[in-house]
Each structure stands twice: as structure tokens, then as C-alpha cells.
Homo-oligomer: A and B are copies of this chain.
Amino acid sequence: MENYQKIINSIYSNLKNVTDTGKVADYIPELGNISPDNFGVNITTIDKKSFGVGDFNKKFSIQSISKILTLTLAYQLEGETLWKRVDVEPSGNPFNSLLQLEADLGIPRNPFINAGAIVVCDVLISHLQNPKDEFLAFCREISNNNELKYNEKVAQSEKKTGYRNIAMCNFIKSFGNIKNDIEDVLDFYFYTCSLEMTCQELSQIFLFLANDDFITQRGKRVLTMSQAKRINAILLTCGFYDESGEFAFRVGLPGKSGVGGGIVAIHPDEFCITVWSPKLNKKGNSYKGMLFLEQFTTATASSIF
């Protein structure tokens, strides 16, 4: 175990000064203000040991990583009928593409592209009375962490410039696959993306996907074992937009990235690991995050394959 600390320290120093050809996402003005030099890593094992290095305790915008959380709650509330509203296939197209939606008559390819996550938010709104509050409460419960918060500025910032997401949501609604008011759906969606966490908090909140026996403080399961495995399967095939195959090939773990520069990866029965480095490669995934995880699974032989 102390091994983990040594290994992440060593990879961290190797990569700390590597030239990073990536670029910080700036389409959301608030994200553009983050220093590109941030670099943090944290592992939490299923027996809750934690190992961190670098900026692992700084908050950042988890962005699309929140798609795992909205999916989890929607799956819990809706069960298997959820998959009538969103598919589980890789998209083979950039993350914001409308092509596929047109061909598939408004059924998003998977819950980890924007279109899919927007439909998942619509499902949640149909189940919840105060979606923002109840979703935040859910996140706090499964992480046992009452500090979790939305970042209002980031949420508002996305709302003002999110023309493509508004387009997508209206487009899906034209096929009948959005049931609630578009403004409500997008407002909720932008808030979920604005959640802020540290690397350590992120590693902790996803333990329920690594540990078959995970129960919350209040003694409740989050998902059935089979459901948790299925979310891992979708993460592996769809978690990195059109670089999902590359991540499976190089890293070999289910995972998810966000444009804030975070990547979460899960080793079933072992641990959850988070890397944060804001500069993104051309496919929109953290440049150093990908590199770190490739070296990490090589060093620890911890690919699931």
C-alpha cells in the first residue's frame, strides 16, 4: 500500500516538468482563470486508505465527471427503463455532435456525452421535487461529505454561452425525448457540471463503483452490484468521448474525464484514482492525466484486462 504512495510520487516527479502541449478549456470563461500548472493525484482504496501528491486537496470544477453522478441517481430511481431514453454505445464522434442524434431520432448514444447527460437530467427532474437540492444531498450522502457545493459563477457562466447545449436540448425535445421544460433541464444540467471537488473527494465519492459491498453512512447501497458493474462498463466504452478506445488501450480502466482537467478511474475491487491537470489534449481530455494513468497502470500492472 505504501507502495502506492511511492509510485504516484515517482510518476508525479517524472511528469511535473514534462512539456504539456495541451490547452486549458476557455469556452467557459470561469474555467479559463484556472492556473494551468495545477497538478494533483489521489488514490483511495476500497478500505479507505488515501494517498495523495501535488494539488490533491485543491477544489476544481469536475464538469463532465458529474455525469457519472447524475447517471447513478437516475439509474437508482428509474431502473432499467432508463435505457429506453439513452443508449450505451460509444459515439464515434466528437462530444458535441448533433449528427448521431439526428440519425438515432433523439436517443443519445450514451449517458456520458452531453446529449445523454441532458436526457439523464430530464429523467431526474421527473423524479425529484427540488432537483438541485436533492442531487446535492445525494452526492453528499454517498461521499459522506457535507462540504460539496455547486459553483454558482461557473453554472451562470455556462448558461450564458451554452448555445450548443441549448441547441441539443431543443433538438432532442423535437424528437420527444425531453419531457420537462427546456430551461429547467439546462439550468439543472449546468449546476451539476459546476460541482467542485478535490482529487481526494473525487476518489472517495466513486468508491461505490470500486467496492461491491459499498454502503453509505446511513447503511444504504447506492446501486446493486450488477448495476455498478454496468456503469463501469459504460465508463470503459464511452467515458472519454472519441478517445475512449485509446484510454482503454493505454490505461485499461473504466474512467471519466471533465473539461476542468480532472480524470477519475476505477479499479474494481481495488481503488479509485483521480488525476487533475487543466491542460487538455485535442480530444478534450487532460494531457498529463492520460499520461499519468498510463504510467500508473503499467507500473502497478493494474489494467482490468
Contacts and interface: CB of A to CB of B under 8 A. Distances in A.
Interface stretch (A91-99, A271-279, A285-293): A91-99
Contact of A243 (B89, B99, B182, B225): B89
A248 interface: yes
A166 interface: yes
A281 B68 CA distance: 30
A67 to B, nearest CB: 15
Contacts of A102: 97-99
A101 to B, nearest CB: 8
A167 B174 contact: yes
B166 A170 contact: yes
Copies of the protein in its oligomer:
4
A244 B243 CA distance: 15
Interface residues of A, number: 52
A92 B249 CA distance: 17
A34 interface: no
The residue among A164, A238, A244, A245 with the most chain B CB atoms within 10 A of its own CB is A245
A236 B167 contact: no
A66 interface: no
Given A233-B245, A234-B248, 18 more contacts: A89-B92, A89-B245, A99-B99, A166-B166, A166-B170, A167-B167, A167-B170, A171-B171, A225-B301, A228-B305, A232-B305, A233-B303, A233-B305, A234-B245, A237-B237, A237-B244, A254-B305, A268-B304
Top 4 nearest A-B pairs (CB, nearest first) are A92-B92, A90-B90, A232-B305, A167-B170
Interface of A: 87-93, 97-100, 102, 109-110, 163-164, 166-171, 173-174, 182, 225-226, 228-230, 232-234, 236-238, 242-246, 248-250, 252, 254, 268, 298, 301, 303-305
